[in-house]
A = this chain, B = another copy of it.
Amino acid sequence: MYRNKQFYYYEILLKLLRVADTLWERSRLFFSKFNLSPSQFNILNLLYENKNAMTQIELSRRLLTHRSNITGLLRRLETKKLIIRRGCRVDKRATLVKLTPRGRTLINKIQPEFRNIVYELFKDIEITDPSEFLQILENIESSAIDKSKSLKNLKNKS
């Protein structure tokens, strides 16, 4: 049965979206054990990697989300006392965000468990060349970003 390239392109796109949906749902179930959403985890994780405080606009760029969305996510994380915010003295428009000790402790607890979940998820899957697989994903992402830029100015996100 002959399949042309375009058939595969379309199937790959649909499958990519579907797999991501399923993985997101899977991680949602996992993080709910800690009373967190995946988006909340992503913020904590990013703050953990960046020892220094980050501004909200930096968070929004790294997480590919609109800056107005960060406001609400941080409000809920602040309520849970996992992060703190304080005005930036150098640039009075900006807010600096940091993990609290409580937030740091939580991330330290979750990370190894999450890596383990990911390992269990992938361990039986045969990927001939993982680095090539990763590279293709990177290329698809780059291509999508380029094409988006031609459609619309992405000012708000970057």
Binding site for B on A (CB under 8 A): 3, 5-6, 8-13, 15-26, 29-30, 64, 115, 117-128, 130-134, 136-141, 143-145, 147-148, 151-152
Contacts and interface: CB of A to CB of B under 8 A. Distances in A.
Contact of A132 (B9, B123, B128): B128
A18 B141 contact: yes
Number of chain copies forming the complex: 2
Nearest to A13: B118
Contacts of A137: 12, 15-16, 19
A3 B143 CA distance: 26
B21 A20 contact: yes
A43 to B, nearest CB: 14
Given A9-B119, A118-B10, A122-B140, A22 B148 contact: yes
B120 A147 contact: yes
Contacts of A24: 17
The 9 closest A-B pairs by CB, nearest first: A20-B20, A8-B130, A9-B122, A15-B137, A22-B144, A19-B141, A125-B139, A26-B144, A26-B148
Contact of A21 (B64, B132, B133, B136): B64
A60 to B, nearest CB: 13
10 contacts: A3-B131, A5-B123, A9-B121, A10-B115, A13-B121, A19-B20, A22-B141, A23-B140, A25-B144, A133-B136
